[in-house]
Structure 1
Amino acid sequence: MYSTLIVARMDPSASQDVAGLFTEFDSTEMPRVMGTRRRQLFSYRGLYFHLQDFDSDDGGEAIERAKSDPRFVAISNDLKPFIGAYDPETWRSPSDAMATRFYYWEDSE
């Protein structure tokens, strides 16, 4: 399994709007097209965390391929009023907002 964590800025009062957009998006075939197995959204003091788990290790590549799909373009545009880049000076695509995992542990039992 492959995971990505996107970090951005979000007004906490927008959480229901953002959840609604993803509820609609995730009811389409797009998660399967992208290989998304699970999506979790978190907020903390004005920050937005988007944790996405993929079936295979090519999750980042799947997102890159999906970026031109009209449904991906639409949700990206729909999220703009609610989600802002963590660092607007360096942000060009979702990959510029992905956190780097530096530790992983999983119960082997």
Structure 2
Amino acid sequence: MVNRFKDPSAHLEIADLFAEHDRSSLPIELGVSRRTLFRYRDLYVHLIETDEELMPNLNAARQDPHFQKINERLGHLLDRYDSKWTEMEDSRAEAFYDWVPEHRR
């Protein structure tokens, strides 16, 4: 997912929010196997790795109070990359290349 930082120095606060979130059972319930957060200037990139398609589980999780709390707090720290986006799906980056060394396959 791609967004913009309202304040790029908030990256540590965002990391703390996800550390709190990842201590809950929700990431495992969603099928998350790894989460990596990146920043580049004012861009925020959130890579979520899963073994299955994430979006159906993520859409269902929106009703979870813990998910809502984290999402609300993130809303104070991040802006949509494109103001025309209306759904979380709109912020999803499209993978166009992936490489894994042969010995890791």
TM-score normalised to the size of structure 2? Answer: 0.91
Instruction: Give 1:59's aligned residue.
Output: 54
- Superposition deviation, residue 57 in structure 1: 2.2
Matched, 1:107 2:101: yes
Q: Which moved more, 1:64-73 or 1:13-22?
A: 64-73
Query: When you count helix as a share of all residues, which structure comes out higher?
Result: 2
**Cα shift readout 1:7-65 (whole Å, capped 9, x = no counterpart):** 000121101111111111111101111111111111101000000111x2221211111
C-alpha distance in 2 between matches for 1:97 and 1:107: 29
Q: Which 5+ residue runs of structure 2 have no aligned equivalent? A: none
TM-score normalised to the size of structure 1? Answer: 0.88
Matched, 1:91 2:85: yes
Q: Which of 3, 12, 15 is the matching residue for 2:11? A: 15
Matched, 1:34 2:16: no
Q: Which moved more, 1:57-66 or 1:40-49?
A: 57-66
The letter for the 2-side match of 1:107 is P
How much is the aligned-residue C-alpha RMSD, in angstroms? 1.0
Number of positions where the alignment pairs a residue of Structure 1 with one of Structure 2: 102
Q: Which of 44, 62, 69 is the matching residue for 2:40? A: 44
Q: Which 4+ runs in 1 deviate beyond 6 A?
A: none
Q: Which 5+ residue runs of structure 1 have no aligned equivalent? A: 1-5
